[in-house]
C-alpha cells in the first residue's frame, strides 16, 4: 500500500485521539508487514487492532481519563418561611414557634436537600448545615391523603468541590435538647442518652468521628424538663475550652485537647500512622 495513502499529520495528534489509534495501526502494519499480500491486509489489521486494545490502547478510555472534571456548583438558595409547629415537630419545635426559616441546598442547579439555621464553614471547601425534613403526618386511612409537615433534622456535611452531601451521626444528639455550637470541626452540645434518663456534655469531632468529651451533667426527664434544656455552649480558642450551660445548674467547662486538622475530604488520602 502506498505510504502517501497512510500519511497523516502525526505531530498534531494526541494519545487517546481516534486518529492516533488508526495511525498507530497503519504505521505498525507498514513498517513490519507492508510487503505482505493484499489478500491478508484486512484480517491482519483486525488482529493488530485487537492486540492493541487488549494491551490498553483504547482511545475512548484515554479520552475519558484525560478529560477535565466538570466543576460542581454548590449554593444555599434564598430563604423562605414555612408553617411549623410543635404538633408537627414535637421533639424539635418550641411551644410558640409557628414558622420555620428554610433554605434549599442546590447542587448543579438541582435542589438536593432543604436546610434550616446557619451554616458553618469547616474548611475552605466543606461546610455543615442542619437538614429540614418534610414528613408525611397522615394517618392510615386519612381521606385527604398525604399531610406534609416540616421538622428539624440531622446535620449534613457538604463538599463544595465534589458536591457530595454526607449525613453526620452525632452521638446522643436529641432534636429537643441539643443546640450545637461549632468550632473548627468540633461540635459541642448537650446530649441525651439512649435511655432518655441522663443529660451529657458532648464534644464530637468530624475528623476522628468520635467524642472527645463526654461528661454526665444531670438526670433528665423527657416529660418534665426546662426549655431550653441547655443554652448554646460557648467556645474559647486559647486554651481550647468549651463551657456548657444546663438549665437550672451552674455552668460547666471542659478543656479540649486540640491538634492540627485531621479532616480528610473527598479526593484526599489519609496518612497511615507509622508502626512503632
With residue 127 as reference, give the H or E element that holds it. Answer: strand 126-136
Lowest mean pLDDT among 4-13, 17-26, 244-253, 257-266: 4-13
Lowest mean pLDDT among 12-16, 22-26, 113-117, 248-252: 12-16
User: What is the per-residue pLDDT for 70?
Assistant: 80
Q: How many other CB atoms are found less than 10 A from the CB of residue 32? A: 11
Phi, psi values for residue 202, rounded to 5°: -125, 135
User: What is the per-residue pLDDT for 228?
Assistant: 85
**Are 244 and 251 a contacting pair, CB within 8 Å?**
yes
CA distances for 47 relative to 25, 29, 34, 228, angstroms: 10, 11, 15, 76
Kindly state the average pLDDT of the residues 22-26.
54
- Whether this model's pTM surpasses 0.85: no
Q: Which residue has the higher pLDDT, 4 or 68?
A: 68
Kindly state the average pLDDT of the residues 89-94.
86
User: What is the per-residue pLDDT for 223?
Assistant: 79
For residue 135, what pLDDT band results from cuts at 50, 70 and 90? Answer: very high
Where along the chain do its domains lie?
3-66, 70-168, 169-262
Q: Is 126 helix (H, G, I), strand (E, B) or coil?
A: strand
168 pLDDT exceeds 90? yes
User: What is the per-residue pLDDT for 93?
Assistant: 86
56 pLDDT exceeds 90? no
7 pLDDT exceeds 50? no
- Report the candidate in 68, 70, 56, 69 with the shortest Cα–Cα distance to residue 15: 56
For residue 178, what pLDDT band results from cuts at 50, 70 and 90? Answer: very high
Kindly state the average pLDDT of the residues 76-104.
93
The chain-wide mean pLDDT, for the chain, equals 80
Cell for 245?
A: 450551660
For residue 34, what pLDDT band results from cuts at 50, 70 and 90? Answer: low
Q: Is 43 helix (H, G, I), strand (E, B) or coil?
A: helix
Q: Which residue has the higher pLDDT, 266 or 184?
A: 184
Q: What is the DSSP letter of 226?
A: -
**Are 129 and 117 a contacting pair, CB within 8 Å?**
yes
User: What is the per-residue pLDDT for 46?
Assistant: 58
Q: Which residue has the higher pLDDT, 226 or 229?
A: 229
Cell for 9?
A: 499529520
271 pLDDT exceeds 50? no
User: What is the per-residue pLDDT for 15?
Assistant: 46
User: What is the per-residue pLDDT for 269?
Assistant: 45
Q: Which residue has the higher pLDDT, 183 or 272?
A: 183
Q: Which residue has the higher pLDDT, 273 or 71?
A: 71
Burial of 232 (0-12, 13-18, 19+ CB in 10 A): middle
Amino acid at each position: 500500500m502506498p505510504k502517501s495513502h497512510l500519511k497523516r499529520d502525526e505531530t498534531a495528534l494526541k494519545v487517546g485521539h481516534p486518529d492516533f489509534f488508526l495511525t498507530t495501526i497503519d504505521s505498525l502494519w507498514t513498517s513490519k508487514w507492508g510487503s505482505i499480500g493484499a489478500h491478508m491486509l484486512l484480517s491482519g489489521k483486525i488482529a493488530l487492532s485487537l492486540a492493541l486494545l487488549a494491551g490498553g490502547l483504547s482511545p475512548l478510555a484515554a479520552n475519558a481519563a484525560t478529560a477535565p472534571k466538570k466543576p460542581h456548583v454548590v449554593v444555599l438558595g434564598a430563604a423562605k418561611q414555612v408553617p411549623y409547629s410543635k404538633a408537627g415537630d414535637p421533639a424539635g419545635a418550641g411551644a410558640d414557634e409557628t414558622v420555620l426559616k428554610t433554605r434549599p441546598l442546590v447542587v448543579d442547579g438541582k435542589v438536593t436537600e432543604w436546610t434550616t439555621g446557619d451554616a458553618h464553614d469547616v474548611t475552605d471547601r466543606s461546610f455543615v448545615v442542619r437538614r429540614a425534613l418534610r414528613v408525611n403526618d397522615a394517618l392510615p386511612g386519612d381521606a385527604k391523603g398525604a399531610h406534609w409537615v416540616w421538622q428539624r433534622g440531622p446535620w449534613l456535611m457538604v463538599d463544595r468541590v465534589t458536591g457530595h452531601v454526607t449525613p453526620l451521626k452525632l452521638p446522643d444528639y436529641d432534636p429537643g435538647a441539643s443546640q450545637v455550637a461549632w468550632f473548627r470541626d468540633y461540635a459541642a452540645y448537650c446530649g441525651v442518652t439512649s435511655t432518655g434518663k441522663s443529660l451529657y456534655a458532648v464534644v464530637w469531632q468530624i475528623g476522628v468521628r468520635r467524642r472527645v468529651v463526654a461528661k454526665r451533667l444531670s438526670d433528665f426527664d423527657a416529660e418534665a424538663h426546662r426549655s431550653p434544656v441547655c443554652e448554646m455552649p460557648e467556645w474559647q480558642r486559647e486554651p481550647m475550652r468549651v463551657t456548657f450551660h444546663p438549665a437550672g445548674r451552674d455552668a460547666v467547662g471542659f478543656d479540649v485537647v486540640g491538634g492540627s486538622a485531621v479532616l480528610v475530604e473527598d479526593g484526599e488520602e489519609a496518612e497511615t500512622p507509622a508502626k512503632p
